[in-house]
Chains A and B, each alone.
Chain A
Amino acid sequence: QQPVQSPQAVILREGEDAVINCSSSKALYSVHWYRQKHGEAPVFLMILLKGGEQKGHEKISASFNEKKQQSSLYLTASQLSYSGTYFCGTGEDSGGSNYKLTFGKGTLLTVNP
């Protein structure tokens, strides 16, 4: 089951904040976040695991609400380099060697000067 991301697109001015949400109808073990720039491969940002702590990476952080099966990605004081499409990927099992991510359709983030 594909997770649902919102919003589908967002336009910011440099320095503004944004929140991207990811919601699943299934119980989740993990949520991954990736950023993909046009014509390039997705790049891993962070992973949040069931029972784990909120993660942060410079001015980008994320939370994972296991009960609601939701995750949010927070981008603060956005920079031009943050532009791209953000994907969440959800994993339903507890890991091991049988593990796959199901990705949402993505959120297109555009940061303007």
Chain B
Amino acid sequence: DSGVTQTPKHLITATGQRVTLRCSPRSGDLSVYWYQQSLDQGLQFLIQYYNGEERAKGNILERFSAQQFPDLHSELNLSSLELGDSALYFCASSGGQGRYGYTFGSGTRLTVV
């Protein structure tokens, strides 16, 4: 157990639907990062939150949004899902100061059918 909890582990949904992925960071970590991993693209950065505020944005689609709550857990919302959104979605946390490694959760495998 890495200390970063992601739920659900697996999600199968239809095109056009909306899903929410949840992440609880490791105790004490203020930064949460979301990454999408597909076979041909590797780990693609989506978005970062630090202590409740959005701090960095990557190639996140407009159909995707995220937030970090006061208790520091984070949710990634994916809407109007397309077949191409099928991927592993990882959440990671860190101390947020750039000097610490990331701790990844076990990921959510999203399959859009």
Contact = CB atoms under 8 A, between A and B. Distances in A.
B113 to A, nearest CB: 21
B106 A41 contact: yes
Contact of A42 (B41, B43, B48): B43
Contacts of A42: 43, 90, 102, 104
Contacts of A101: 33, 45, 102
What interface size band does chain B fall in? 20 to 34
Given A99-B96, A101-B102, A87 B42 contact: yes
A103 B37 CA distance: 11
B25 interface: no
A97 interface: yes
**Which of A46, A99, A104 has the most C-beta atoms of chain B within 10 angstroms of its own C-beta?**
A99
Interface string B26-62: 0000110101000001111100101100011010000
B63 interface: no
B101 interface: yes
A29 to B, nearest CB: 7
Given A97-B31, A99-B97, A100-B48, A105 B102 contact: no
Interface of B: 2, 30-31, 33, 35, 41-45, 48, 50-51, 55-56, 58, 90, 94, 96-107
8 contacts: A2-B42, A34-B101, A34-B102, A96-B98, A97-B50, A100-B33, A100-B58, A103-B35
Given A103-B44, A103-B45, 19 more contacts: A30-B98, A32-B101, A34-B101, A41-B90, A41-B105, A41-B106, A42-B102, A43-B2, A45-B101, A47-B100, A89-B43, A93-B98, A96-B98, A98-B48, A98-B55, A99-B55, A99-B96, A100-B45, A101-B102
